[in-house]
Amino acid sequence: MSKATLTKRTEFCSSHRYHNPNWDDAKNKAVFGPCNNQNSHGHNYLLEVTLCGPIDPVNGMIINLYDLKIYLWDVLKEFDHKNLNLDTPYFTERIPTTENLAVTLWECLKQHPHMPPVDRIRLHEDHTLFADVTAELLNGPGQSSHADITRRYKLSAAKHLPNGQTTGHNYTVDVTVTGPIASDTGQVVNLGLLDQIVNEKILTRFNGKNISKDEAFQETSPCESHLAQVMWHALNNEIAGTTLTQITVSEGTDSQASYRG
């Protein structure tokens, strides 16, 4: 029987606060920044659930989409319009970060009696941040669950075209790192530190500049794929405790290029 994957996207709203009760206020503020503010803050989360299973020879589906919508709501109703810290039982000992929430949703979906095998969960906290979890990541080395965390950045830059003209683009750059979810922070990487490194190594170098004049592009074209590769080498080994997994660069809505070292 043929198998396929199916991805369903759905939204829910929740609020949360990042806080480690074992730390004093100064350390919580230093590590979590605005996410540690006394009042919780909310997000319109976008959840992508990818299922893998056999295609029914009669209806041609892995699962009836109407049924899937019901099964997802069975899980998400515990989280929708809730304060994750106070209104759910899942975060009494875990900080409700994007990574930990993605792992929690994975665990809840796996326990649903009618849900086909879950292949991947991608949870978008907002347009700048999303986390991916898979069975392979959750069963990775060590005692901690692992996850991919992707941070999205914007930059504007120009480049020379083959005909000698110059054109400008508003680039989107996705930086994906993989690592264990730390028990004390609930994060794969400190986002403030990641932002600082990307700003120093990537944004300062390219934003508002003519990329064609950069030393990396004196003998090669500054296309998306080459730019992703150059950014990879600029960031690789700079982010302690994690592995740089992928750089994705898009100079518009019609194409993108990814580089994995």
Which residues are the active-site residues? 35, 81, 125
Running DSSP on this structure, what letter comes out for residue 210?
B
Phi-psi region at 186: left, alpha or beta (left = phi > 0; alpha = psi -120 to 50):
left
Report residue 224 CA to chain centroid gap.
20
Residues in a beta bridge with 172: 154, 250
Q: Give the sheet arrangement for strand 129-133, strand by strand.
A: 82-83, 3-16, 41-54, 118-126, 129-133, 146-160, 166-180, 243-250, 257-259
Residues in a beta bridge with 118: 51
Q: What are phi and psi of 141, to 5 degrees?
A: -65, 150
How far apart (Å, rounded) are the C-alpha atoms in residues 249 and 154?
Answer: 10
HSE-up (13 A, CA, CB side) for residue 60:
0
